[in-house]
Amino acid sequence: MSNSGETSRIRYDEGCLGAHALNLIGDRWALLVVRELMFAPKRFQMLRAGMPGITASVLNGRLAQLREAGVVLHDERLGVYSLTGAGHGLLPVLEALCRWALTVPGHDPSRFISPSALMISMGVNLMRERAAGREALAGFNFGKEAFEMRLADGRLTTTAVARPDAPFVLTGSGNAMAVAVYGTAPLALLIDKGFIGASGDVSAAQAFIDLFRLEPQP
């Protein structure tokens, strides 16, 4: 960072706050790097796994820019990247982008969905009126990543964990899990066909995923 608090790479020479933000996080892939670090620190290759279209050189460049902007930290001893407080403060930005994307055409949910992307998406697409007054704890296991999602007071809290300890745990890829959460097929059918895995109370799992819908929320 320079003494003025701006990165050395200025694209928009304006006093607009939006332009200032875009100078820091507006490059291609930058916000998706933030997305992948939102719930837990990660090593370089795990970051790449969550963004299969990015090259190693581009990811290195984005990480360097985000570090300079004060959004990402790099622990060289452990070899992991994590978000700063400013980086975690971008979650509402990612959520707002998801909400806006629901209102415009062209979204293709058959394309790659990372586990972190799905977790953020579910926070946006919770039907809050239906969820009001309910409490639940859900587990999601994506293989190399796992999460617990707690519903309380109409709000979701998502935490990365080594192994979910919840009344039910759903297992599968990001895309398979998105079909289970947002699709119309009963969970039991998807489990029976081996599309996703499940352990614990499947009826509670069905009741939980019925609280989500991939459409603009009132």
The CATH superfamily label for domain 106-209 reads: SCP2 sterol-binding domain (3.30.1050.10)
pLDDT on residue 11:
82
Q: Both tokens of residue 215?
A: 């459409």
Q: Are strands 168-171 and 155-160 parallel, antiparallel or unpaired?
A: unpaired
Q: What is the pTM of this model?
A: 0.93
104-143 pLDDT, tens digit per residue, is: 999 999 999 999 999 999 999 999 999 999 999 999 999 9
19-71 pLDDT, tens digit per residue, is: 999 999 999 999 999 999 999 999 999 999 999 999 999 999 999 999 999 99
Question: For the domain 17-89, what is the CATH code?
Answer: 1.10.10.10
Indicate if the pLDDT at residue 7 is higher than 70: no
Domain ranges of the chain: 17-89, 106-209
**Residue 166 φ then ψ, to 5°:** -140, 165
Please give the Cα distance from 45 to 52 (Å, whole number): 10
Torsion of CA 58, 61, 62, 65, to 10 degrees: -160
Longest dimension (CA), the chain: 60
168-192 pLDDT, tens digit per residue, is: 999 999 999 999 999 999 999 999 9
Which residues touch 73 (CB under 8 Å, ≥6 apart)?
67, 81, 82, 83, 84
